[in-house]
């Protein structure tokens, strides 16, 4: 291949891949730097050490997931906001209420930032996450029959999500509902088919479990309960019903 042909081939690769990079989760190191004078959003540190969830969630997965994937959503969201008039000053929840009016880059990266911020808080080192409150247990028993039946439904939602996405427990205003979303969508978005206040969320993208569980998403889903932060789940449930 001549030097000119090689340059053209590389240019073609860049052109083809750039839209995916702008929306994607897996290209953190190539994410555009935030260009806003003051970035609208920032990545908070994890509320525990990278290895705090070992051996259930390994430190390397946490380091990559938080430091690269989540950082990329933040960077891409800030870059989009800086380039889009009329969105300055909007909160993350404001942006969720108008995702259907904007390009997918907003949906994917606002969702990615919200979902992961929630996800980190919903986990705690084994033995430190507390227990479901009596009021939450009563509601789970009412809506699902038992805690085991709820967990089975939640795991099924995660297992049946084809490709990448999330499993959710949401409060819809009257009852608890299990659902799942594709990509970085979530039940707060204006066009979500099942809406509600997120109570529990599990990331079923392969990047959340592949280093430890490889293709066995089911093993990740069934062992993940051991690192659930029920104290935060209880708080979200109480807040959702205010």
Site of interaction with Mn ion (CB under 5 A): 203, 205
Rounded to the nearest whole angstrom, what is the least distance from the CB of residue 184 to Mn ion in the complex?
8
Rounded to the nearest whole angstrom, what is the least distance from the CB of residue 18 to Mn ion in the complex?
22
The residue among 60 and 148 lying less far from Mn ion, judged by its C-beta, is: 60
The residue among 206 and 226 lying less far from Mn ion, judged by its C-beta, is: 206
Tokens of 116: 């992961």
Rounded to the nearest whole angstrom, what is the least distance from the CB of residue 188 to Mn ion in the complex?
17
Rounded to the nearest whole angstrom, what is the least distance from the CB of residue 229 to Mn ion in the complex?
17
For the beta sheet containing 197-203, the strands, ordered from the edge strand earlier in sequence to the opposite edge, are: 176-182, 165-171, 197-203
The residue among 62 and 176 lying less far from Mn ion, judged by its C-beta, is: 62
> What φ, ψ does residue 10 adopt, rounded to 5°?
-65, -40
Beta-carbon contacts of residue 42 (< 8 Å; ≥ 6 apart): 74
Phi/psi region, residue 103 (left: phi>0; alpha: psi -120 to 50; beta: rest), is beta
The residue among 114 and 144 lying less far from Mn ion, judged by its C-beta, is: 114
Rounded to the nearest whole angstrom, what is the least distance from the CB of residue 132 to Mn ion in the complex?
24
Q: Please give the torsion angle defined by the CA atoms of residues 224, 227, 229 and 234, in that order, rounded to the nearest 10 degrees.
A: 40
Rounded to the nearest whole angstrom, what is the least distance from the CB of residue 64 to Mn ion in the complex?
10
The residue among 144 and 205 lying less far from Mn ion, judged by its C-beta, is: 205
The residue among 112 and 132 lying less far from Mn ion, judged by its C-beta, is: 112
């Amino acid at each position: 291949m001549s030097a000119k042909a090689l340059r053209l081939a590389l240019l073609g690769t860049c052109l083809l891949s750039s839209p995916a990079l702008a929306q994607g989760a897996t290209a953190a190191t190539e994410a555009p730097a935030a260009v806003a004078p003051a970035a609208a959003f920032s990545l908070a540190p994890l509320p525990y050490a990278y290895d705090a969830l070992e051996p259930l969630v390994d430190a390397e997965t946490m380091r990559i997931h938080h430091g690269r994937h989540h950082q990329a959503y933040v960077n891409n969201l800030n870059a989009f906001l800086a380039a889009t008039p009329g969105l300055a000053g909007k909160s993350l929840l404001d942006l969720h209420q108008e995702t259907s009016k904007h390009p997918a880059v907003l949906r994917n990266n606002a969702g990615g930032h919200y979902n992961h911020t929630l996800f980190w808080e919903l986990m705690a080192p084994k033995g430190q996450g507390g227990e479901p409150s009596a009021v939450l247990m009563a509601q789970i028993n009412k809506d699902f029959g038992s805690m085991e039946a709820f967990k089975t439904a939640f795991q099924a939602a995660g297992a049946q999500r084809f490709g990448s996405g999330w499993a959710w427990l949401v409060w819809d205003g009257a009852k608890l509902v299990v659902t799942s979303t594709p990509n970085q969508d979530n039940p707060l978005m204006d066009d979500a088919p099942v809406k509600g206040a997120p109570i529990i969320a599990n990331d079923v993208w392969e990047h959340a479990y592949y280093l430890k569980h490889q293709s066995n998403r089911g093993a990740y889903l069934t062992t993940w309960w051991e690192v659930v932060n029920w104290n935060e789940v209880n708080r979200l449930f109480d807040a959702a019903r205010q």
